[in-house]
Amino acid sequence: MFELSTDVCNIKTLKNEDLSAYDAIYLGDFSCPEYPNNFSSNPKQLKKGLDLVKSHDQKAYLRLYAVPSNHDMPWVEELIDTAMDLPFDAFEVHNLGLLRVLQEKKCTIPIHLGVFGNLYTHETAKVLKQYGVTRVYPNPELSLKEITYIADNTPIEVLLPVHGKIPLVISETCFIMEHTENTKLCGNNKCNFPCLEDHWLKRGRKDGSSNDWSLKDTGRMTLSGKDLCLIEHADQLSSAGFTAFYVQNKGEAEGYASKVGHIYRTALERAFAGDSGIDCAPWLAELDALSHEGLCNGYYFEGAGQRYFGRA
Amino acid sequence: MVMMMAPGGTLEMAKMVLDEGADAVYVGVVGWSRRGAQDELNDDEIRHTIDYALRLGKEVRVVVNTLPSSSELPMFIDCVARYAQWGARGFMISDIGAMHLVRQMLPEVHIHTSVGCGITNYEDVKFMRDIGATYVVLPYRLSVEEIRKIKQESGVGIEVFLFKTPSGGKICPGKCMMSSYFSFRRWLDANGKDHFFGSASRGGDCLRVCQTKWDFKVDDTGYQQPMTIKTNPSLWLGELPAYMAAGVDCLKVPGRDRSATLVRDIVRVYRRALDRIQECDHPDLEPFASELEILRARWGSERSKRDNRLISQAEKESRGALVATL
C-alpha cells in the first residue's frame, strides 16, 4: 500500500529506538562522517545494522556521505565496496560523482537520490535513471504540484518527506566546532561531539511572531527550525498517488521517530483506506508538542518554507 | 590560452568589460539566472550584447542557471535556441536534465556547469563532462594540485572564479535553501514563466539571511556573540600563475550585481595581470596586488549595501501570516 521510512545514524540509536511504525530505515548520517559509529562512514558497522533492520522485517537503505571532497573519495569507495557485498535494499546518493562511481563499479543495488541531489525536474530524473536511480527525494523547494508532475512523468518513484525538520544547507566543515571553545575538543584535538546537544541559530524579537527566525544546526547541516508536518493532508497525498513517505529524524531526541512514526502510520493507513473524515486535531497537538519551534508545511503549498497551511 | 570571462549585469557593464579586455561576457536572462531582474538582461539587451561582442571578435555566454520547474523546460529550450541562433557561444546551466537537453539539441555550443551544480570532487567533474558539459566550474576551495589533477584526468575545460572563500563553511550555492525558507513567493507571468522570489536556485535573489546577525545557542543558552553564518569570498591574485600552469581554461570575474564601474576596474587589473603572466616566466604581480586591495574595499562596501537591502526585503516578506488555511 505505502512505505513509511525514517533515518537512524548508528547502531546505538537503532537498538534503543522503537521503529516498529516504519517499513524501511535509511541507515547513516550523510552529513558528518565523524559522527560516532555513523553507518555512512564505518564499514564495520554495516552488517550489524543491516542484520538488525532485517530482523524486524524492514528494508535497509544505506546513506552515502553527501559532500565528499577529493580526499574523502578513497574511504567512501571502501565503504561502498563493503556495502555492495551486503544485501542492502538501496544506496542513497546525494553526490553525482558517487553516482558515477557506483556505475563504474557496476553496482546492481537500486539507488535513491538524496535531498542534496538537487532534483528539480523530470528531465533530471530521466538522466538519473540511466545511472540506476530508482527513487528520488525532490528538492525541498518544490511544491506538491511540481513533485506530482515529476512523479507522473518519469518512471521513477518519488519519496515524499511528510514530517521533521527540512535540510536547508550542508557544509564540509562543522559550524559548531568552528564556533565552540576548545574545551569541547578531546586532548588529541578530535571531536568530542558537542552536536549531541541541541544547537540553535536564532534572531528576531523573541516574541514568537513571524519576525522570529530560527534554524537548528547539527554541525555540518542546518535544518529548518520548525518541523515539516503534513498530517492534515494525508488524504491528499494518498489520492495524489504517492506511496513512499519519510520522517526526518536526524538531530531529534530519542523517542521522536517512534512517536511521529506511529501517528503517521495510523493517519496514512486510514487515508489509504479512504477515510476522509479524520479528526487530526489530537495528532496535530501531539506533533506540535514534540516540535521545538512549531510546525510548517515546507514549500509544498508554494509559500516560504516556514509557513503552515491547515485544512479549512 | 586562458579565457577571461566577465559579468554583464547590465548592458552598460557588458560593453564596459568587453572594452576593458574581457575575452567573453556572461549575461543573465530575466527570470532564468541566479539573480534578481535588476541584474539580468532582456532579449533586446542580450541581442545587442551579442552583436557588440561579435563585432569585437569576442564571445557571449548566456546564464540560464536556475533550477526550473519541469513545466518550464520547453520555454527554456526555446530561449537557449534563440540566443544560440543570435550568436551566443555558450550557456551556464545548473539543472542536469536541462543540460542534457541542450547538448542533444545544440551539439556545437559550450555548456558551462553553474556554481549551482555544487561540485565537490573530481568524480563530479567527470559526471558533468559525461552528460555534456564543456567547462566545469570548480568550487572556491580546491588547491592548485587538485585542479591540475582534475584537468589531467577529466580533459574537460576548467573554470575557476577569481574569488575565494578564506575558510570552510556552508556550501553555497548549490546546497543552500535558507533564504527561501524564510521568504519565498512564486507566481506565473502571462507567458507561463515561473517566477520565484527569495530563491537564487529558482531565479530570484538569494536574500542573504546568512549575513544577518544570529544568536548561536545551546538549548536556550546563548554562548557566542551574534554572528553571521557564512564567510564572504574575496578577490584573489597571487596564485594566478600557478592556476594557469595547472591548466585552468577560463577565469571568471564575479560581480553581476556590483556597479559597472567597479567591475570595469576589476577587469582592467586582471587583464593587465594576465597579460603580464603570459609575457614572462616570473611576473611581478605586486603592482596589481595593491590595486586589487583598493578594489576589495570597494567590493566590500557595495556588498554590505546589497546585503542590507536584501535582508530588509527578507524581513519584510516574512512578516506575512505564518499560519493559513487552504
Outline where B30-70 has alpha helix (H): 43-55
| pLDDT grade for A204, boundaries at 50, 70 and 90 | confident
B171: closest CA among A176, A175, A72? Answer: A175
Task: Tally A–B CB contacts below 8 A.
Answer: 234
Residue A120 pLDDT more than 90?
yes
Q: Which residue among A69, A124, A302 places its CB closest to the CB of B186? A: A302
What local confidence, expressed as pLDDT, does residue B165 receive? 76
* Residue B212 near residue A215 (C-beta atoms within 8 A): no
What local confidence, expressed as pLDDT, does residue B169 receive? 62
- What's the DSSP call for residue A192? -
With 0-12 CB in 10 A as exposed, 13-18 as middle and 19+ as buried, what is A64? buried
Shortest CA distance from A178: residue in chain B:
B169
Residue A57 pLDDT more than 80?
yes
Least confident of A139-153, A197-211, B180-194, B236-250: A197-211
Separation CA A46–CA A65 (nearest Å): 14
What local confidence, expressed as pLDDT, does residue A231 receive? 97
Tell me the domain boundaries of chain A: 3-166+226-296
Separation CA A116–CA A200 (nearest Å): 21
CB contact under 8 A, A171 and B73: no
Give contacts of A120 with chain B, Cβ < 8 Å.
Answer: 67-70, 95, 201
* Residue B8 near residue B48 (C-beta atoms within 8 A): no
| pLDDT grade for A311, boundaries at 50, 70 and 90 | confident
What local confidence, expressed as pLDDT, does residue A180 receive? 75
Give contacts of B226 with chain A, Cβ < 8 Å.
Answer: 203
- B207 to chain A, minimum CA–CA distance in Å? 12
Test the B interface: residue of A174, A201, A248, A295 with most B CBs within 10 Å:
A201
Residue A83's φ and ψ, nearest 5 degrees, are -65, -30
Shortest CA distance from B175: residue in chain A:
A169
Q: What is the mean pLDDT of residues A242-254?
A: 97
Test the B interface: residue of A30, A210, A236 with most B CBs within 10 Å:
A210
| pLDDT grade for A181, boundaries at 50, 70 and 90 | low
Domains and CATH numbers, chain B: 3-170+233-299 (3.20.20.70)
A63: closest CA among A22, A131, A8, A15? Answer: A8
| pLDDT grade for A185, boundaries at 50, 70 and 90 | low
Q: Which three cell numbers stand for residue A22?
A: 516504519
pLDDT truncated to tens, each residue of chain B (326 aa)? 899 999 999 999 999 999 999 999 999 999 999 998 899 999 999 999 999 999 999 999 999 999 999 999 999 999 999 999 999 999 999 999 999 999 999 999 999 999 999 999 999 999 999 999 999 999 877 899 999 999 999 999 999 999 887 665 666 678 999 999 999 888 888 888 888 899 999 988 899 999 999 999 887 777 777 888 888 888 999 999 999 999 999 999 999 999 999 999 999 999 999 999 999 888 999 999 999 999 999 999 999 999 999 999 998 888 876 777 77
Shortest CA distance from A215: residue in chain B:
B178
Is B71 part of the contact surface with chain A (CB cutoff 8 Å)? yes
| pLDDT grade for A48, boundaries at 50, 70 and 90 | very high
Q: Give per-residue pLDDT as tens, A74-116.
A: 999 999 999 999 999 999 999 999 999 999 999 999 999 999 9
Amino acid at B167: S
CB contact under 8 A, A199 and B218: yes
Q: Which residue among B69, B120, B180 places its CB closest to the CB of A68? A: B120
What local confidence, expressed as pLDDT, does residue B141 receive? 78
What local confidence, expressed as pLDDT, does residue A148 receive? 97
Give contacts of A220 with chain B, Cβ < 8 Å.
Answer: none
Residue A252 pLDDT more than 80?
yes
More confidently predicted of A217 and B324: A217
* Residue A225 near residue A204 (C-beta atoms within 8 A): no
Give contacts of B179 with chain A, Cβ < 8 Å.
Answer: none
Is B144 part of the contact surface with chain A (CB cutoff 8 Å)? no
Give contacts of A97 with chain B, Cβ < 8 Å.
Answer: 119-127
Separation CA A103–CA B15 (nearest Å): 45
Give contacts of B169 with chain A, Cβ < 8 Å.
Answer: 171, 173, 175, 178
Give contacts of A194 with chain B, Cβ < 8 Å.
Answer: 218
- A223 to chain B, minimum CA–CA distance in Å? 9
Give contacts of B218 with chain A, Cβ < 8 Å.
Answer: 194, 197-200
Classify domain A3-166+226-296 at the CATH superfamily level: Phosphoenolpyruvate-binding domains (3.20.20.60)
Residues 6+ apart with CB under 8 A from A21: A4, A258, A261, A262, A264, A265
Is B176 part of the contact surface with chain A (CB cutoff 8 Å)? yes
Output the average pLDDT for chain A. 94
B218 forms bridges with which residues in the sheet?
A199, B221
Residue A178 pLDDT more than 90?
no
Q: Give per-residue pLDDT as tens, A255-296.
A: 999 999 999 999 999 999 999 888 999 999 999 999 999 999
Is B79 part of the contact surface with chain A (CB cutoff 8 Å)? no
Is B136 part of the contact surface with chain A (CB cutoff 8 Å)? no
Separation CA A72–CA A40 (nearest Å): 12
Is B190 part of the contact surface with chain A (CB cutoff 8 Å)? no
What ipTM, to 2 d.p.?
Answer: 0.95
Neighbour tally for B148: CB within 10 Å: 18
Q: Which residue among A69, A222, A312 places its CB closest to the CB of B325? A: A312
- Cα–Cα separations (whole angstroms), residue A132 to A31, A66, A74: 23, 18, 22
Give contacts of A198 with chain B, Cβ < 8 Å.
Answer: 218-219
